[in-house]
Amino acid sequence: MEYVRQLAESPYDIPEEPMNKNTLILIFLFSVLLSTFFFSPLFSIEVGGHISENTTWSPENNPYYVTDDVYVDENIILTILPGTIVKFNAAPLYNSSCIDDYFVYYNGTNVAKMLWVDGRVIANGTENEPITFTRMQDSLYYHWGIVYLREQAELSSFKYCDFEYSALMLIVLGIIPRGAISIYNESVIVVNCNFIDNLCGVFIDRPTQNIIIKNNLFYNIENLPPNVMYSTGGIDISASPHGESSSILIAENIFNETIANYAPLIIAGAPADVVNNQFYEGGICAWMDSEAASYFYDNSFINCNTGIDGDEPTDSLYIKKNRFVNGYDGIDINYAYIEISDNYFEGCDFYTDLDCSGKVYNNFANGGGVFTPGNLEVFNNIASSNNGPGLCATYQRISCYNNISINNQYAFEASESFDNCIFLGNEEIEQFGITGNPIFRNCILDFELPPECIDAGGNIWVDSLSFDSIFVDWQNGDFHLVEGSLAIDAGFDTTNYYCPFDMDYNQRIWDGDEDGTPIIDIGPYEFASPQLGGICGTVYQTGNSEPLDYVLLKVNNQPGEFEFSDSLGYFKFRLPAGVYDIYAERVFYEDVVVEDIEVIDGEFTEVEIPMTTTLVGIDEQPFQPSEISNLSIYNYPNPVRNSTTISFTIPGDITEAELKIYNIKGQLVKNFELRTPPVLRRSSASEDGNSELNNVVWNGKDDSGKPVANGIYFYKISVNNKNLIKKMIILR
């Protein structure tokens, strides 16, 4: 049985007659001793042992002191109410109680206490009343154990919880749970939590079916021992060696700069959908060693040595629409099938090894090169202003076409062939010597081909004075073709050879010079060609019709042809004319297939995709903002250098709203009072006609007019006591 001990406070009578000096001193000393006595763990609730019946922990009994391990037995629910504080007996790392950097569970006990779950934990706090899991001893380098969800544990939920100062626990050889939440069961929800100064925030092992880790903050400050070897502080997944696993949804999380001396996100097991997260300053941010496919979509990697690192054999990686800003390698993949598309690199390279295969397309590298050895197709990419080789730094076995390498230190290394590529303004031709005999066909060049290279015809030689006649604004990074550009209709081959779209997802082969013969253009953009049509729409939940965010959608079930629905459930594909099926999947929902969707050139076919939840007993509540219909907010650009425009829609009948900006510590830095009239100005109507689009420009200064520091900021719009919060990064 669980033991619970509480000693009640007793009243004390205070004399009414005047007191002398000695009496006052005695009373003061007594009150100090009394305060120390009553606020010690002996006079608070102590918990430990087995919980064998459904139990609720309430803030009325704060704090709960875990002086012995707590076990939630099978088929039992421990409910922890908002505002509850749970403090675990802690111990210093690197003493007789631990080996290396973890504690040892030996002979049924351990010095650093933990919560052992064979049943279920429902710890759902609120934004204003979070639940806190922390240590009893407020001493530097002291850590408690873990929340250990064993294989038989039922679906558990942690919302608006703060986890502080947890460590690793050796249960038996081969089982080393190492997260504040250590997941060995199939289904868990971790939403809106803060993980501060933990050796690992969330650890996942064993087979998984439905796990969502969303909108959490992973942040380490200074309370980890300096000799800890492998602190992640973030998320560590190593599930698949133990059986089949479905994808884990990792969305909207922030991994702060001081989080770890190792990778804050490790995917070494189950596949993961990594969507709309922010990795801010660190070493290797996402380390891959998985036997199953994973998706990285719409994430930001800021000032990271390596954003995504695939150092071990990995099944498949699909990396799309991410931002890699500064650091060393945005992407470094050694062994995998890869499809890397529509990413932006600024001040960092991306590299794939010889053992990679797949596609690299529609990427823009500004101040970085793209090194792509392997059996790859490399097309529709731009590499500009790099102090090393440009985008076409490749080896044999590669197909490289419709790319630009401009103003780099080196133009290329080698390739099987370069078709329809542009090489201009590079300081040197190559860096390490040319491998093989690369073929150049229908390229624009400002250098003579070395003897090792083969001129297959159609090449055009220019000098630096020709730049302005080729591109719209090459000095500011706009490499669209200007009218009359010599790259228009000057490419090699016209049909059934190249990808059917350009870097803007416009039709690839178009009669740009209007001579009656459509020919592919040189470079990543096709001049004056019309946009493709496509499929767009909204994913929503059956039953309540709420939009459903971060649904993985695949065209014809092809992994590389994918998008994710955004925070409002909206998605959009650009596709050539044809008939398609859309496959939709998300954790905690049944898969859906919408068949036979016809796409016509230049038109979008709208579809609505309903999905049914598989949750029983716990509401996931995946979409909070919809409590007010037609409320949305976003900012551009993000990351922010000088200023940013915050755009938002609110219901048309609302005349007052509030917009505030906070730093990562939750401190208010800027307050906009929005009223109509005249401050809240209606700039345009939204598509539904029931809300208005508004814009506020923030210059990156606080209320006192001082520029704010670089870092992560939150902006929140409040309407009728309902809030919608988004994140931005200041990066000057």
Contact 188, 159 (CB under 8 A): no
Grade residue 417 by pLDDT with cuts at 50, 70 and 90: confident
Separation between Cα atoms, residue 9 and residue 491, nearest integer Å: 87
**Which residue would you say has higher pLDDT here, 488 or 660?**
488
Nearest to 434 by CA among 420, 457, 414: 414
Please say if the pLDDT value at position 221 is more than 80.
Answer: no
Inter-residue contact 241 to 264 (CB < 8 Å): no
- Domains 533-611 and 625-730 in one fold: yes
H-helix or E-strand spanning residue 469:
helix 467-470
Distance from C-alpha of 127 to C-alpha of 434, rounded to nearest angstrom: 59
The two tokens of residue 476 are: 């500011």
Query: Is the peptide bond prior to 677 cis by the omega test (within 30 degrees of 0)?
Result: yes
Rounded CA-CA distance 413/372 in Å is 10
Q: Is it the case that residue 49 has pLDDT exceeding 50?
A: yes
Higher pLDDT, 416 or 468: 468
Residue 312 has pLDDT above 70, yes or no: no
Chain-wide mean pLDDT for the chain? Answer: 81
SS3 732: coil
Higher pLDDT, 435 or 568: 568
What are the residues whose beta carbons fall under 8 Å from the beta carbon of 504, sequence distance 6 or more?
525, 531
Instruction: Write phi, then psi, for 718 (nearest 5 degrees).
Output: -125, 130
Q: CB–CB of 436/412 below 8 Å?
A: no
- Kindly state the tokens that stand for 87: 């403090």
Amino acid identity, residue 639?
P
Q: What are the pLDDT digits (tens) for 539-549?
A: 999 988 889 99
What is residue 681's predicted lDDT score, i.e. its pLDDT? 36
| pLDDT for the residue numbered 432 | 67
If one compares 595 and 28, the residue with the highest pLDDT of the two is: 595
Q: Considering only CA atoms, which of 350, 273, 268 is closest in space to residue 304? A: 350
Q: Which architecture characterizes domain 533-611 according to CATH?
A: Sandwich (2.60)
The pLDDT score that the predictor gives to residue 139 is: 86
Q: Is the pLDDT of residue 343 over 70?
A: yes
- Please say whether the beta carbons of 442 and 459 come within 8 A: yes
Q: In this structure, what token pair is assigned to residue 579?
A: 């008939």
| Three-state helix/strand/coil letters over 380-406 | CCEEECCCCEEEEEECCCCEEECCEEE
User: Averaged over 324-346, what is the pLDDT?
Assistant: 87
- Which structure tokens are listed for 448? 């003579």
Kindly report which listed range (12-16, 439-443, 650-654) carries the lowest average pLDDT score.
12-16
What's the pLDDT score for residue 642? Answer: 83
pLDDT average, residue stretch 55-76 = 95
Close Cβ partners of 590 (under 8 Å, ≥ 6 residues apart) = 611, 612, 613, 614
Taking residues 80-96, report their average pLDDT.
85
Q: How does DSSP classify residue 100?
A: T
The whole-number pLDDT of residue 426 equals 85
- pLDDT in the model for residue 627: 40
pLDDT of 223 reads: 58
Tokens, residue 279: 């990795």
Q: Which of 440-449, 637-646, 690-699 shows the lowest mean pLDDT across its residues?
A: 690-699
Q: Is the pLDDT of residue 566 over 50?
A: yes
* Cβ atoms of 636 and 615 closer than 8 Å: no
Tally DSSP H helices, then E strands, for the chain: 2, 68
> CB–CB of 274/253 below 8 Å?
no
Give yes or no for residue 185 having a pLDDT over 50.
Answer: yes
> What is the rounded CA–CA span in Å between residue 492 and residue 513?
15
Q: What is the pLDDT of residue 686?
A: 38
The end-to-end CA distance of the chain, in Å, is 58
DSSP secondary structure string, 318-386? EEES-EEEEEEEEEEEEEEEEEEES-EEES-EEEEEEEEEEEEES-EEES--EE--SEEEEES-EEES-
- pLDDT for 593: 97
Correct CATH for 625-730 of 3.40.50.2300, 2.60.40.4070, 3.30.420.40, 1.10.8.60: 2.60.40.4070
| Beta pairing partners, 598 | 579
Give residues with Cβ within 8 angstroms of 263, minimum separation 6. 232, 234, 283, 284, 285, 286, 287, 309
- Is residue 237 within 8 A of residue 269, CB to CB? The reply is yes
| Residue 258 predicted with pLDDT over 80 | no
Collapsing DSSP to helix, strand or coil, 26 comes out as helix
Give, in order, the Cα–Cα distances in Å from 636 to each of 330, 568, 569: 22, 17, 20
So where are the chain's domains?
3-18+28-41, 56-264, 533-611, 625-730
Q: Per residue in 264-289, pLDDT tens?
A: 888 877 789 999 999 887 666 777 66
594 in Cβ contact with 573 (< 8 Å): no
